Amino acid sequence: MKTRITEMFGIDYPIICGAMMWLCKPKLCAAVSNAGGMGNLTAGNYENEEQFREAIRETKKLTDRPFMVNVTILPSVHITAEHHKMYLRVCAEEKVAGLEISGTPLEKAAGKDYIEMLKKAGVKLFHKVGSVRHAVHAEKTGYDGIYAAGIEEGGHPLNDDVTTMVLTPRIVEAVKIPVVTVGGVANGRTMAAALALGAEAVMMATRFVATKECEVHDNIKQELVRRQENETTLICKSIGLQGRAIKNKVVEDVLAVEARGGGLGELIPLIAGKRVKEAWETGNVDLAPMMMGQSVGLVKDIPTCKELIQRMAAEAKEEIERVRKIF
């Protein structure tokens, strides 16, 4: 497969792993890259420079293929503005292939000097956006590509609440740099749809949780196979941290707090990152909000990353050929 994204990074398939706290670590990152896609190392998993730099170097030992690093710039109890600047500096020093910025724009959070530093190091910059206006701004600022994140996605979809089917072509029409579709993609059929909308790659997170290489309790993987597309909901919009999570007991509690006007102080004990980490490790599906997208309804099995990516490519080709015959 050949798009501007595959050409930019020298990867075989236009499939990128999305950022996931506690899960996007060297093993999964390298597995996706070794399978011909592009893995993701999530910076927020590491609380100091030594840990973060070591994670990058460990990933490079596991794969000689390029991978993406995510830096999410949102309010956090443990990750500060100084952490963000440290992540950016280390990415430049270690010359990672690509950097995905989610949340506050890089130039606002750290300054244009950091953009220049990363570009001099050869790091390709992508900004995750949920609107045309933010995509246009990112292109003007000097980013190399756009993640167009529809409301279907898990994690923290942007507040414009636009679906992937509309957002991807709108952004493709508005910018000249390549666009990656985020949200609602989990198989070859949905990848073919994204490419037809003008995207030059897809980003998936939920689907990669249900792979053999993802370091999460098997109960969680089996839960994803069992769940349907209507079993997620949006939480934390009232505090400016909108997220999409699978419906469970703690999500019900979060929604109840929001419904009666409760604030951040009441919500933090329910949504704390360490609570999520414990859920991933123990397999307790009711312990914490599990940030998953509506694409969970498309998860049917637990393959290896290689099996998943190759199957998606074959399915996408088959779907494109099927549509071509219609005309």
pLDDT of amino acid 295:
98
Q: Which residues of 297-313 are buried (b: 16+ CB within 10 A; e: fewer)?
A: bbbeebbebbebbbebb
pLDDT of amino acid 210:
98
Residue 204 has pLDDT above 90, yes or no: yes
Q: Which domains does the chain have, with CATH numbers?
A: 4-216+301-326 (3.20.20.70), 218-294 (no CATH)
Question: What is the average per-residue pLDDT within 215-239?
Answer: 97
In this structure, the strands spanning 67-73 and 39-42 are: parallel
| CA–CA dist 327, 313 (Å, integer) | 22
3-state DSSP assignment of residue 80: coil
Q: Is 64 exposed, middle or buried (0-12, 13-18, 19+ CB in 10 A)?
A: exposed
pLDDT band for position 100 (50/70/90)?
Answer: very high
What's the gap between Cα 35 and its chain centre? 18
Residue 77 has pLDDT above 80, yes or no: no
Residues in the chain: 327
Residue 303 has pLDDT above 90, yes or no: yes
Percentage of residues of the chain with pLDDT beyond 70:
100
pLDDT of amino acid 131:
96
Enter the tokens of residue 309. 């990516």
pLDDT of amino acid 160:
87
pLDDT of amino acid 256:
97
pLDDT of amino acid 78:
82
pLDDT of amino acid 157:
80
pLDDT band for position 135 (50/70/90)?
Answer: very high
Q: Which residues are registered as beta bridge partners of 125? A: 99
Enter the tokens of residue 282. 């123990």
**CA 256 to each of CA 11, 236, 243, 263, 284: distance values in angstroms, whole numbers, following the listed order:** 45, 11, 15, 11, 21
Question: What is the average per-residue pLDDT within 58-76?
Answer: 95
pLDDT band for position 134 (50/70/90)?
Answer: very high
Q: Is 82 left (phi over 0), alpha (psi -120 to 50) or beta?
A: alpha
| CA–CA dist 321, 151 (Å, integer) | 29
Which runs of E-coded beta strand occur in 75-207? 98-103, 124-129, 145-149, 179-182, 201-204
Spatial strand order of the sheet with 179-182 comes to 15-17, 201-204, 179-182, 145-149, 124-129, 98-103, 67-73, 39-42
Q: Kindly report the CA angle at 189 between 103 and 138, in degrees rounded to 5?
A: 25
Residue 187 has pLDDT above 90, yes or no: yes
Tell me the average pLDDT of the chain: 96
Per-residue pLDDT tens over the stretch 235-286: 999 998 899 999 999 999 999 999 999 999 999 999 998 899 999 999 999 9
Question: What is the average per-residue pLDDT within 178-193?
Answer: 98
Per-residue pLDDT tens over the stretch 109-121: 999 999 999 999 9
Percentage of residues of the chain with pLDDT beyond 90:
93
pLDDT band for position 51 (50/70/90)?
Answer: very high
Radius of gyration of the chain (CA): 18
pLDDT of amino acid 75:
79
Among candidate residues 83, 147, 145, 91, the one with its CA nearest the CA of residue 118: 91
